[in-house]
């Protein structure tokens, strides 16, 4: 099994099938796709050995490879340590101003660690989602990551539930990062060091690459209608 094929461990049980109506229309009409990756340390690439191995950088390379005749750009707007509220304040300048057709919002981990309040978090997420969607941009929320020792953060699951509930109420696509990483951990295809770094919190090169590959699988399928082959991924389209 290749290093990339192992990324799809558990994919059939935890599919990512985003609704991308705005992006699909724009891609068909203009041949262009701009994605803003909004987030905290996972998006910024904390734990990666170099910037080119952050998930947004790998995602851009994967999408360019799979959609070779399209003009594709993934803009990294990750700032380590930020809360959902910090990111809400940046949406106008860092998301809408870039005129993307998709935003991938990776958030809530820092809110869970700091226990900012579940009702407060739900309101912040709803404001951010509505602001993005009112601008005609497709929204994808990223679930929190799986951690080897989540018991360090007593309300981790409660905050994951806030994200899931909010996404369900507003009909927003969610990338199942937690379930995906848990499947990797159980698959015996990764060492623990390939999933989470020495700090027990941040992802590393191998897991960032797999994260990007799995996101690319869902995006390409949603944008082109290509049937997802869990062994190979969506086929490139001309």
The model's pLDDT over 7-36, given as tens digits with 9 standing for 90+, comes to 898 888 889 999 999 999 999 999 999 999
Among the listed residues 159, 76, 145, 150, the one whose alpha carbon sits nearest the alpha carbon of residue 111:
159
Task: Indicate left, alpha or beta for 99 from its phi (over 0: left) and psi (-120 to 50: alpha).
Answer: left
Q: Which helix (H) or strand (E) holds 142?
A: strand 138-142
Look at residue 33 and give its three-state secondary structure: strand
pLDDT band at 198 (very low <50, low <70, confident <90, very high): low
Looking from the CA of 195 toward its CB, the CA atoms found within 13 Å total 23
> By CB neighbour count within 10 A (0-12 exposed, 13-18 middle, 19+ buried), where does 63 fall?
buried
Q: Say if residues 33 and 27 touch (Cβ distance below 8 Å).
A: yes
In whole angstroms, how far apart are CA 177 and each of 29, 69, 103? 31, 29, 16
Looking from the CA of 137 toward its CB, the CA atoms found within 13 Å total 27
Tokens for 37, please give them: 């990756």
pLDDT value at residue 219: 97
Q: Cα angle at 203 between 17 and 75, to 5 degrees?
A: 60
Look at residue 188 and give its three-state secondary structure: coil
Q: Cα separation of 224 and 37, whole Å? A: 21
Look at residue 8 and give its three-state secondary structure: helix
pLDDT value at residue 3: 65
* Per-residue pLDDT tens digits for 139-195: 999 999 887 776 778 899 999 999 999 999 999 999 999 998 888 888 878 877 788
Looking from the CA of 56 toward its CB, the CA atoms found within 13 Å total 27
Q: Cα angle at 104 between 53 and 66, to 5 degrees?
A: 60
Task: Indicate left, alpha or beta for 137 from its phi (over 0: left) and psi (-120 to 50: alpha).
Answer: beta
pLDDT value at residue 189: 81
Looking from the CA of 189 toward its CB, the CA atoms found within 13 Å total 19
Would you say residue 135 has pLDDT above 60?
yes
Instruction: Report yes or no on whether pTM surpasses 0.85.
Output: yes
């Amino acid at each position: 099994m290749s290093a990339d094929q192992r990324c799809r461990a558990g994919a059939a049980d935890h599919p990512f099938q985003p609704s991308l109506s705005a992006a699909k229309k724009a891609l068909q009409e203009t041949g262009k796709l701009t994605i803003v990756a909004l987030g905290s340390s996972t998006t910024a690439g904390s734990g990666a050995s170099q910037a080119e191995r952050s998930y947004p950088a790998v995602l851009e390379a994967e999408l360019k490879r799979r959609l070779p005749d399209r003009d594709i750009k993934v803009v990294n707007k990750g700032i380590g340590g930020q809360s959902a509220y910090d990111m809400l304040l940046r949406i106008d300048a860092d998301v809408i101003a870039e005129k993307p057709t998709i935003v991938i919002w990776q958030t809530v981990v820092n809110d869970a660690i700091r226990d900012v309040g579940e009702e407060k978090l739900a309101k912040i997420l709803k404001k951010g989602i509505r602001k993005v969607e009112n601008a005609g941009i497709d929204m994808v929320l990223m679930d929190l990551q799986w951690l080897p020792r989540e018991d360090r953060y007593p309300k981790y699951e409660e905050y994951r539930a806030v994200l899931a509930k909010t996404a369900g109420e507003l009909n927003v696509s969610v990338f199942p990062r937690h379930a995906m990483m848990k499947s990797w951990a159980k698959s015996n295809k990764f060492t623990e060091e390939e999933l989470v770094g020495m700090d027990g919190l941040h992802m590393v090169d191998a897991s960032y690459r797999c994260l990007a590959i799995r996101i690319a699988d869902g995006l390409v399928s949603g944008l082109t209608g290509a049937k997802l082959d869990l062994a190979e991924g969506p086929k490139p389209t001309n």
